[in-house]
Structure formats: C-alpha cells, structure tokens
A and B are shown apart, each in its own frame.
Chain A
Amino acid sequence: MDSLPYIAVLIAYGLVGAAHLLPGIVGERLKSRVRPIALTGVFLHAAALFLGVATIGGGTGFREALSALALGIMGAYVAAGRGRLSALGLLLAPLATVLLGIALVVPRHQVAALEHTPGVLPWLPIHLALVFFGLACFALSFALGALYLLVRRELKAKRFDRLGRLPSLEVLDSMQFRATLFGFVAMTLGIGVGGGIAAASLDVPWAWDPKVGFTALLWAWYGLALQLRIVAGWRGKWSALFAIVGFAAAMFSLVGFNFFFTGWHGYAG
C-alpha cells in the first residue's frame, strides 16, 4: 500500500469533514468546493485501493479492510449527501477520515491461507465487496439515524435555529430503512459467499472464529430491526437507535477484534 495517494485522500476527507464540523471557519471558505473535493477523494481512493490490491495479488490486510470501509462510507456520502442531506457529512466524513487514518498507521499484515486454495480466489473479492458494501450501508444507516435523533430533539425542544437546514424526519426515516435493507441484503449474500469459500478451502467444514460469530449476531440484530419495523411499526426513533447500536458494534468488531483476537479473519497474527 503506497502511502502517498492515500495521504492526499486523507487530506480530502479531512477537509470535507472540517467543512461540515466547522461551517463558519472551513465551510464558508470551501463553499461549493466541498462536493468536488469529496468526489476527487473517492475516485483517487478507489483507484489507489484497486491498484494496491491488484499489485499485491489479492492480498488483503487490515489496512485494506479499513481503507475499503472508509471508501464505502465516503461513497455513501457522495451518493446520498446532496442538498439538505449533505448534513450526513457531519458524521460520515470524520468517520471515514478516522478509519483511513488508522489504516495508514497500523502495521501491515496479510491474511494468509486462503490464497492457496484453487478456485476460491475469484470469489474472495466478491465476498469482500458484498461485506464492505453492506458495512457502508450500515454506516449510512447509522448517520441517518443519528441525524434523525438530532432533528427530533430540536423539534421536541422547540429550537428552530437549524430549521430547514437539516433533512426532514420522514426523508431520514425512509432513507434509513432503505440503507438498512440494502446493507442487510448485501451482508446476507456476503456471508453466504464467505461460507462457501470456507467450505471449499478449509479442511474442516466449519471453523469457529470470533468474528464469524460476532458477524452472525450483527446480522441477526439488523434482521430484528427490519422485522420490528415492518411488522410492529418500530420506525423513527427505535429504528435509529437500532442502527446506531448496530454500527457501533460493527466498528468494534472490525477495529477492536482485529487487535485482540486471532482467527481466520484476524489480522492480529
């Protein structure tokens, strides 16, 4: 992973984050340039990640995993964050910046083992793409949920300073539902493909791995959130809380587990 383009990407994401967090100081100066900066960052990031992974030969380590998630999150911001929804940048841009920042400082490790099994290699990128797309959807769902709670709190407290500048409750709620749904579907498929890879490449049909277990829990959590929403009308605040807790757990799984546990997915080696 050649660091130079990544530093440029990091600066771009940092600027986008700063523009949202400090509208008076940074946002005022950048104005309409925020979106072009974010777009440039995303394209550069995608190119660097693709080239990096391609030249290493399918090698994917913890760095790449964090980097891919950061890319997914900024991709979600660029795709969804227009007009009033650009407030999503308040959460997504700093999150992507921090993730990419961690990616740049952690030591480099390889996930071994899997590349040696013939026939598995083409499925690995599909597994990873689905999982990271799913995670990016959950990140978007988390940011939408957090904004929902913010708008709700402002309205209930009768504070009108930000009226008309933040997205509406119903837009946040319906988008949050869709993001969760897409994330859940992608995760389901990603886990399915992962299971297939495991079955094909490991000697034992099922190897317990803390991350697999945790992911199963997470999957069930989002499944429950969707179920409650559709069947029992747990929309709005509840749906937002589910998304926030779910994503916080996912971040813990990705960052925390990798430092403390080992296993097939572990990078702690």
Chain B
Amino acid sequence: MPAERRLIAVGLSHLTAPVEVRERLAVDPAGVRRTLNNLVSTGVSTEALLISTCNRVELYTVPGRGGEVGVAEFLASFRGPKGEALDNYLYWHRGRDAVHHLFRVSSALDSMVLGEPQILGQVKSAVRQAQEVNALGRVLNRLAQRSLAVGKRVRTETALGQHRVGIGNAGVDLATQIFGDLGGRRAMLLGVGEMGRQVANALQSAGLRELVVCNRTLERAQELAEAQGGTAIEWSRMADYLGRVDIVIAATGAAEPVLVAEDVRRALKARSYRPLLLVDLSVPRNIDPGVDDLEDAYLFNVDDLRSVQSRGMALRQDAALDARKLVSTEADRFMTSLAELDVAARIGGVVRHAEVLRIAEMARSQRLVSSLDGSQQEALDQMTRALVKKVLHNPLQNLRRAAREGDSERVEAILNAMGVQDEDA
C-alpha cells in the first residue's frame, strides 16, 4: 500500500476529551521532540508529527513495520487521570481523512473558538519541532507544508478570520467604524471592572495611542495603568480629560451615572465636534443614556456590545462554509499530488529495472557485440534502448493517467502486471 494511504492521524481534542485528560497528555516542545525521537527510533513510525496544544494532542504518522497496531500499542502506555485507557477519547483518521483533519485543524475549523488565529502558529511550531529531530519524511514533510499553506489560504481567501469575536473586540469593531485607524486615538477607562479591561486591552492591541485610567481610588487606577501600560489620573480630573480623549469606556460599580449629558456636551465642544465614542459596560449604567442624543456622541451599552459580538460569531459560521469547501478540495488535491509523486518514484524504478535487464542482455551477447566495429556497437546500443523505451511507453502512459485520475486500484493493477513490487512494503 502506498505510504499516503497508510498515513494515520490519531488524537484527542476539546471535542472528545475533558480538560483533565488533555492536560495530562499535553507535552512541552522538549517532550514533543522526545516522543517523536522515541517513535522513530523504535520503528513504530517511519515519519511522525505531534501537535500538542491546550485543546488537542494529535499524532500524525506513517507507521513502521508494526503498522497501525504498533501505534496503538505505543499509545496504550498513556493513561487518563484515573489510570483508565484513552480509547474512548481517541479518534483515528486514515489516508485522506487524516489529511483532511490536519487541514481542518490548521484552518481553525476544528478549534474551540472557530477561526481563532493562534492555531496556525501552533501547527508551525509543531512542524519545526518535528523537523529538528528529522521525524518528517517524504509524506509528512509535504503534508506539513501543505497544511500551513491551506491554513494561510483560509485566512486570506475566506472571511473566517476577519470577523472578530469576544466582547473586547466588539468594542474595537465599533471604534474602527467610527475612527478607522486607531493609531492616533486616546481612550479613557473609568473604573477597573473586568469587561472594561477587556475592551481597553483589545483597543490597545488594535493600536490605541494612549490609555488613561481613572478610578475613585487612585491606587487601583495606578495598578491597572501599570499592568496595561497607561496613565492613571485622579477621579476629580475626569472632566478635564473628557475633552482630550476619543473613546470613553465606563466600567465602575457606581449606582448612579458618573457622566451626564452636560459633561459630554462640553467635551464635544472642546474637541470641536469630532465624534466621541462612549462604551458603557456597567449595570446599572454609568453614562446617562441621554448622551446618545448629542449630535457627535456615540453611546453603546453592554447589550449593544453583545449584539455586535454575536453578529461576529454568526458571520464566522457563514465564512466557515466557504472554508470547509476549500479545505476539502485541498485534501483531494493533496492526495492526488501525493499519488502522482508516488507513481513517479515507482516509474523511475520501472525504468531503472528495464535498463538493468537491457545491460544484462547486452552482456550475454558479449561475443556478438565484440565482433562489431565501434559504429555498429553504438547502433546496436541505440536500437536496444529504443526498443525498451517503446515497450514501456504505453504502460507508463496508462500508469500516469491512472495516477492523475486518482485511480489507485488501476495503478496497482498496472504495476502488478508489469511485475513491479511496492518499494515501501
């Protein structure tokens, strides 16, 4: 059987195993290298790639002489937290399914948060670790490179990664709809509530120029400002700063509004009516809802942010349909290209074998050959070459066509008829 069809993916993920199991199996980069070394040196695998993140532990491998059973035996030494076997958590994918699975993983289609951007980097480091211990061979090397390319294609050609999720990013979506680039923008965070931090954090990641933190107790503002990389100011100076910032995030525990329309009206005048974004994450609300009636003030409350957030998720679901199609096509393409490669290698073998036979026949006719003069010898040599080439031409053409069409049974049949053995087997 060609190597690409012996390819196995076996593992467990957030979809099949609880965190107690996943955390027991997760390994650090050194552990990954050790495991791969172990697999290859004991002959369990001829090639192996191990992906270990907090959401999944997966082994992609071309098994050695022991086949799939050998891999299963190797895995049996790993146990769950209560000493139980892992069989119930494990999924096995073979051949094209294994390829398809890796492509889904690197495209973040199999991730806990659909379309999340970290996984591609994690697959990349897994590939690097496997390369460091020379665990990647003819099949897995190509598969690994292709899976990174597929992950990249999904990011650039589908909208899967474009729609942000998370409450912080909902704030970023609103801010960019108003200001475009956040590069030159300043924000003020009122209070030190958790959601406020998340929004401030996301804005900073999106390129916010300056963050001002304002809290009733200055010490807590200072702590947060230090952690987030911002400036702390006293509560009494809030009104002064209101005219200097573009974004206000309110997340205090106050029962009464801390910002009223009159404050904001004055601030708008001070910034000559450039738009001001106000995000009120507190319940009860910290910013007087009347502020939204002001011409250039855009006030959003926690419910608004939630609906932005759920819209982002819904758009990702839509984009995932395109991404799945792309990944499936890529898996088919990869299998075909691998089969072609495999056939090309074996055609090389056929041609070499024929040449050996030809030279042997020439040697058997040594007496006849030596009686000829130089130009006659050359003519005979050319004639035998041409003969071998002609005889092989049609079968090899058929072989290539069968490989292109992905008809592996016909490939095997033609090779068998020609008396060629599988080199890998």
Interface, chain A (partner B; CB < 8 A): 151, 155-156, 158, 160-161, 163-164, 166-171, 233-237
Contact = CB atoms under 8 A, between A and B. Distances in A.
A156 B174 contact: no
Contacts of B308: 160, 163
Nearest to B272: A233
B273 A170 contact: no
B307 interface: yes
Contacts of B311: 160-161, 163
A255 B403 CA distance: 67
A235 B311 CA distance: 31
B180 A170 contact: yes
A11 to B, nearest CB: 29
Given A163-B311, A233-B273, A235-B273, A158 B177 contact: no
Contacts of A237: 295
Contacts of B179: 168-170
Interface stretch (B120-128, B296-304, B411-419): B296-304
Contact of A163 (B173, B275, B295, B296): B173
A151 B180 CA distance: 12
A236 B295 contact: yes
Nearest to A237: B295
Interface in B268-311: 272-275, 292, 295-296, 298, 300, 304, 307-308, 311
B304 A170 contact: no
A133 to B, nearest CB: 26
B176 interface: yes
Contacts of A158: 300, 304, 307
B133 interface: no
9 contacts: A155-B174, A158-B307, A163-B308, A164-B162, A164-B176, A168-B177, A168-B180, A233-B272, A234-B273
Nearest to A166: B177
Contacts of A171: 180
Contact of A236 (B162, B176, B275): B275
Given A160-B308, A161-B311, A236-B295, A151 B273 contact: no
Interface of B: 162-163, 173-174, 176-180, 272-275, 292, 295-296, 298, 300, 304, 307-308, 311
Given A158-B300, A235-B274, A168 B307 contact: no
A153 to B, nearest CB: 12
Contact of A170 (B173, B275, B295, B307): B275
Contacts of A163: 173-174, 177, 308, 311
A167 B300 CA distance: 19
A104 B327 CA distance: 49
B177 A164 contact: yes
Contacts of A170: 178-180, 274-275
A72 to B, nearest CB: 26
A185 B308 CA distance: 42
Nearest to A154: B177
Nearest to B179: A170
A236 B296 CA distance: 8
Contacts of B300: 158
Given A160-B307, A233-B272, A169 B178 contact: yes
B164 to A, nearest CB: 9
Contacts of B292: 156
A22 to B, nearest CB: 19
Given A163-B311, A168-B178, 20 more contacts: A151-B177, A155-B174, A155-B177, A156-B292, A158-B304, A160-B304, A160-B311, A163-B308, A164-B176, A167-B180, A169-B177, A169-B178, A170-B178, A170-B179, A170-B275, A233-B273, A235-B274, A236-B273, A236-B275, A236-B296
A236 B179 CA distance: 12
A-B residue pairs, 7 tightest by C-beta: A233-B272, A168-B180, A171-B180, A233-B273, A169-B178, A170-B179, A160-B308
A90 B232 CA distance: 45
B199 to A, nearest CB: 16
Contacts of B177: 151, 155, 163-164, 166, 168-169
A169 B273 contact: no
A264 B286 CA distance: 64
Contacts of A167: 180
A248 to B, nearest CB: 23
Contacts of B295: 236-237
B298 A155 contact: yes
Contacts of B173: 163-164
A168 B176 contact: yes
Contacts of B176: 164, 168
A149 to B, nearest CB: 12
Contacts of B298: 155-156
A256 B162 CA distance: 46
A167 B178 CA distance: 9
Contacts of A161: 311
Contacts of A160: 304, 307-308, 311
A220 B274 CA distance: 25
A171 B176 CA distance: 10
Contacts of B275: 169-170, 236
A252 B273 CA distance: 32
Nearest to B180: A168
Q: Identify the interface centre among A151, A170, A235: most chain B CB within 10 Å of its CB.
A: A170
A234 B304 CA distance: 28
Contacts of A155: 174, 177-178, 298
A163 B315 CA distance: 11
Contacts of B304: 158, 160
A160 B274 CA distance: 22
A155 B174 CA distance: 9
A7 to B, nearest CB: 36
A155 B276 CA distance: 12
Nearest to A155: B298
B233 to A, nearest CB: 25
A233 B178 CA distance: 18
A157 B200 CA distance: 24
